[in-house]
Amino acid sequence: MSTQAPVAPAPAEGTGAATIAEATTFEPVIIGFTCNWCSYRAADLAGTARTKYPPNVRLIRLMCSGRLDPTFVLKAFSEGADAVLVSGCHPGECHYIEQNYKALRRFQLLSRTIQALGIEPGRLQLVWASAAEGVRLAGEIARVTEEVRELGPLNWPAGEIVDIDNVTLEAAWEATGGDAGGPPETPGGANPQHAAESAEAAR
Amino acid sequence: MNGHVPAEGEIRIGVYICHCGSNIAGVVDVAEVASWAAENLKDQGVVIARDYKFMCSSPGQDLVTDDIRDLGLNRIVVAACSPHLHENTFRTATARAGLNPYLCELVSIREQDSWVHTDKAAATAKAKAILAGGVERVRRNEPLDPITVNINPATLVVGGGIAGIQATLEIADAGFHVYLVEKDASIGGHMAQFDKTFPTLDCAACILTPRMVSAGTHPNVTLMTWSEVTHVDGYVGNFTVTIRKKARYVDESVCNGCGVCQEKCPKKVIDEVYEAGLGYRKAIYTPFDQAVPRTPVIDRENCTYFEKGTCKACEKFCESNAIRFDQKDEILTVEVGNIILATGYDIFDARQIAQYGYGRLPNVFTSLEFERLSNSAGPTNGHIVLRDGVTEPKTVGVIHCVGSRDRNFNNYCSAICCMQSLKFSHLVKEHTGATVYDFYIDMRTAAKGYDEFYQRVMEEGTLFVRGKPAEVTEAGRLPGEEGKLIVQVEDTLAGRQRRIPVDMVVLSVGLQPRADAKELAQRFGISCSSDGWAIEKHPKLDPVATMTEGVFIAGCVSGPKDIPTSVAQGAAAAARVLGRIQMKQMNLEPIKATVHPEHCSGCRICNTMCPYNAISFDDVKGVSFINAAMCQGCGTCVAACPAGAISGTGFSDEQVLAQIEGLLRVGADGLPLKRAAYPVAQHEGNGHRPEAPIEEAVRA
C-alpha cells in the first residue's frame, strides 16, 4: 500500500486544524463499513425506496462485519474521515452464524482505544441493520451525521511532529520532550506523549 | 493506441460512469465525474474515463470490451447500480474481452448516491469519492479463478403445500430425485382445507388431491411427512440436511391405510388444525380422508394408552399389525444439491382484535372456519350454520382486511382476502340464500377473472358497504337488533354511521409469516423481513432465489399469494433448480481465507474464530491452516490474525485500505479532503504517513 504515490494533494494554503474550522457549515465525511448480506442490502433497499439521507456517508462493502479489521477504522481516521460507522446484521441473525458478535467485541475494545488516541467515542458508531431495514439505516445515517456535525471536524490535539516510523521508541520519547529514561508512570497532558505511549503499551 | 500492450506491471484502468437514463444523470453530473476521473486519477492508472447512457446495454458493454482490446486495459471500474444487480454483467463482459473477471469492480452511485440524495453538488462529489475508492481498490485486485463445485442432483423441498408439491413434481418428472419434507401428517397444506377456489370455483380437493397422490407415489420422490428439518450443513450443490422424523407410532411400511384404527379408537379430540376447531378427530388419525400418505399418526398427548397405560384398541383391530407404541423419533441425514423452501403461512389470530369479538361472540367466525363450514367434507357436511350447529343464518356480514392493512397489526395487504371474501359472499348466497353484507376498505381484484367474479357477486345481490367496521357487538339497543350481532360501521360512500344487524360475521383474516419463520431463515441461512417473510434475491427479477446460493423460495414463504401465483412460483423454483442440475457444476465466488505459513506464529487465535471449524492447527509445522472447502469467506479470521498472516481473497487488507484512501480523496464539497493534523504526523519532506504504529497498536 505504501508503494503508492501520496494520494491527496496538499491543500493550497495552510494545513491542519485551523483551516478546517473556518468552514461555515461543517459537512463531515463519514466512512461506513457494511456487511454484504444485511446492511449493504439495506442501503440498496433505501435506494430502491428512494429514502433520502445526508450525502456525508461513503460505504465500503465487507463480506461480514466480522471482517472489520480495527486497522480499517484507524486508517479512515488518519485519512481524514470525521467518523466511522460500522454496520452488521442484528445479533442472532448473522449470515455467518455468529461473526457479528466478534465484530461487537472488537468494536467495544476499539471504542476505548480511540479515546486513548484523543478521538471522541461518538465518532465510531455501531448500527445493526437487517437487509429489510433500509429506512432504519437511512435514519441512523442521518442521526450519526447530525451527531458528528455537532462534534465538528476530527481535530487531533495539536502537538510536536514526530516521525514514529523511523525512530526507536526511546528516541521518539526524547523528541517529545520526555526524559531519556523512558515514559513516566502516569500519562502527561501533552498529546504526542499520549500517542507514543499508546503505541508502546500496545506492543 | 490500437492494441496497446501494457508494460510489465503497468496498471491501465478504464472507468465507465453510467447515466442509467436519468436515474443517475438526473442527480449526479456524470460528465463532470468522468472528466474529473480522467484528470485526477491519472496517477492511479486511469487511462480512459467515459460516461454512457446505459452501461448495462449491449453497446455499453461493448465500450468496455473494445477498450480492453484497443487500449490494453487491465482493470475496469464501472460506476453504476448496486453490485448485487450488475456486478456479474460487467465481470462477464470483462471475461469476454479476455481479461480476468475479478479485475473488474462495480461501484454503486445509484442506490447509494443518486437515489438517496437530492443536492446535486454533494451527490456529484460523493460519486467522485466512490469512484476513486473503486479505482484504488481495483489496483489491488488480483486475477482469481472461480471455485467449481459439483451439483448433487437430488433436491430437498420443505413444505408440502401446493407450492411445494408443484416444485416436487416438476423436478421429479424431469427425472431427478426429490426429498419432500412436511411437518404435518399429510401433504396438502392450507389448500386441502378449502372448499372452492376463486374465481373459477373449482373444488379445491378435486384439483389438489390428484397432485398429492402423484407426489406421494412418484418413483423419484421420497416423501417424509410428520418430519422436520433440524439442521443444514454445506453449500450449494453439497448440502447435508438433518431431518427429524417424528414417531408416528405406526409402521408406514406395513400400514395399508384401511382406517379401522380410527374407527375403533375411543378417544375423540377437537381438531384444532385441519377442522379449525369445528370438528373432531380421533387420537389416532389421518388429518382428512384423502390424506397422503394414508398412514395415520397417534397423538401421544391424547392417546389413552400413553396417558393411562391401557387401551391399545387400535393395535387389537389392526389387521396388518402396524401399530408400534415403542417407536422413537428417527434422525435421518440426506445429501442434496439444492433446497426449495415452501413453508407457507399462518393465519392472523383474530382474537387480537377484541372489538370484533372473535372467541367471545359465538357467531363470529374466521375465514378458515368458514372454509370448513362450507366444505361438503367438513364437520357440517357443507351446511352453513351458526355455532349451535343447526340454525341457518338469514343475514351474514363478511369483514375484509382483518389484521391486514392495519398499522396496529400487519401493515401489508394480504392479497387474497378480497377474493376470498367475495367467494364467501357467493357461497352464502348459494347455500342459504341469506342476505350478505360485505364490508371492504378497497376492493382489490387484480388478476385474470377476478374482477369478473366481483361483478358476478354484485349481480347476485351482495350488499357492499365501503368502510372498516369499528365493532361487532351483541348489545342491541334498537328495534330489530335483539339477539343479533350488530356491525357498527362508517359507510364512507353514504357518509354516515350505520348499525347493521346480522346473524353471522365472517372475519376475512390476513396471512402472516409462520411463527418460526425467523428460526427457519436462520437454519437455511436466508434473510427475512422484519415481518418474517423471506426476502427474494431480487423482488422482480429473481423472485424465487435467495441471497444464499442453492436455497430457493416458493409460495407464501415470501409473502401472501393466491394459489395460481404459488403454483407458478413452485414451478419457477423447480426450473431454477433443474437448470443447476443440468449444469452439473457451478462456479462460486472465490472469496476464501488462506494462512501464509511463513508468517503464522502458531498462536491459534484464529482457530476459535471460525464458526465452520474450517481452521485447524498443524502440530508438526506449528501453524494453522484453513480448509478451503469449509471456509465460507466471512473474513473474521483475517481481521483477527495479529501477525497479518491470513489473507482474504476479494476483500484483502490491501484492497480495503486502498478503497478507504480513495473514498477520502475528496471532501463533501468535491475538493480535495483536508486532513486534520494528528499528533504523529510526519517530518516535512518525508513521503509517507506513519499509519503503521497506530495500526499495530490496535491489532496487538
Concatenated DSSP letters of B296-353: -EE-TTT-HHHHHS---HHHHH-TT--B-TT---EEEEEEESEEEE---EEE--GGG-
pLDDT at residue A197, rounded to an integer = 43
**SS3 for A150?**
helix
Reported confidence tier of residue B193, pLDDT bands at 50, 70, 90: very high
Q: Where are the domains of chain B?
A: 13-144, 149-243+331-344+532-588, 247-328, 346-512, 593-649
Whether A4 has its CB under 8 Å from any CB of chain B: the answer is: yes
CATH architecture of B13-144: 3-Layer(aba) Sandwich (3.40)
* A172's grid cell: 521518539
Residues B665 and B672 sit within 8 Å (Cβ to Cβ):
yes
B149-243+331-344+532-588 maps to CATH 3.40.225.10: no
CB-CB: which of A16, A63, A195 is closest to B651?
A63
Which positions in chain A touch B525 (Cβ < 8 Å)? 95
Residue of A29, A137, A166, A194 to mutate when probing chain B, most B C-beta within 10 A: A29
Beta-ladder partners of A30: A57, A83
User: Which tens digit of pLDDT belongs to each residue from B109-152?
Assistant: 999 999 999 999 999 999 999 999 999 999 999 999 988 899 99
Q: What pLDDT tens digit does each residue of chain A (203 aa) get? A: 444 444 444 444 444 444 444 446 889 999 999 999 999 999 999 999 999 999 999 999 999 999 999 999 999 998 989 999 999 988 877 888 889 999 999 999 999 999 888 899 999 999 999 888 999 999 999 999 999 999 998 876 554 444 545 556 666 556 555 554 554 444 444 444 444 444 444 43
- This complex has an ipTM of 0.73
Mean pLDDT of B323-327: 95
CA B136 vs CA B14, B73, B663, B685: distances in Å: 12, 15, 9, 24
Q: How far apart (Å, rounded) are the C-alpha atoms in residues A8 and A16?
A: 14
- Asked whether the predicted pLDDT for residue B535 surpasses 80, the reply is yes
Taking only the tens place, the pLDDT of each residue in B73-119 is 999 999 999 998 899 999 999 999 999 999 999 999 999 999 999 99
d(CA B212, CA B571): 15
CB contact A41 to B (< 8 Å): yes
Query: Per-residue confidence at B694, pLDDT binned at 50, 70, 90?
Result: very low
pLDDT of residue A177: 56
Q: Do domains B346-512 and B593-649 have the same CATH topology?
A: no
Q: How many residues are given for chain B?
A: 700
What does the pLDDT read at residue B146?
85
Q: Which residues of A touch B530 (CB under 8 A)?
A: 130, 132-133
Give the residue-averaged pLDDT of B520-546. 88
Interface touch A52/B125, C-beta < 8 Å: no
Would you state the pLDDT for residue A92?
Answer: 76
Q: Tell me, what's the pLDDT at B531?
A: 86
At the top level of CATH, which class does the domain A27-202 belong to?
A: alpha beta
pLDDT digits (tens, 9 = 90+) for B212-257: 999 999 999 999 999 999 999 888 999 999 999 999 999 999 999 9
- Mean pLDDT value across residues B30-50: 95
Please tell me the CATH code under which domain B593-649 is placed. Answer: 3.30.70.20
Q: With an 8 Å Cβ cutoff, is A149 touching chain B?
A: no
To the question of domain B346-512 being in CATH 3.50.50.60, the answer is yes
**Residue A97 to residue B633, Cβ atoms within 8 A:** no
What class has domain B247-328? Answer: alpha beta
Across all residues in chain B, what is the average pLDDT? 92
Q: Which pLDDT does position A19 carry in this prediction?
A: 44
Convert B344-359 into a string of H (helix), E (strand) and C (coil): CEEECCHHHCHHHCCC
Cell reading at B85: 444487480
Instruction: State the Cα–Cα distance between residues B201 and B211, nearest whole angstrom.
Output: 18
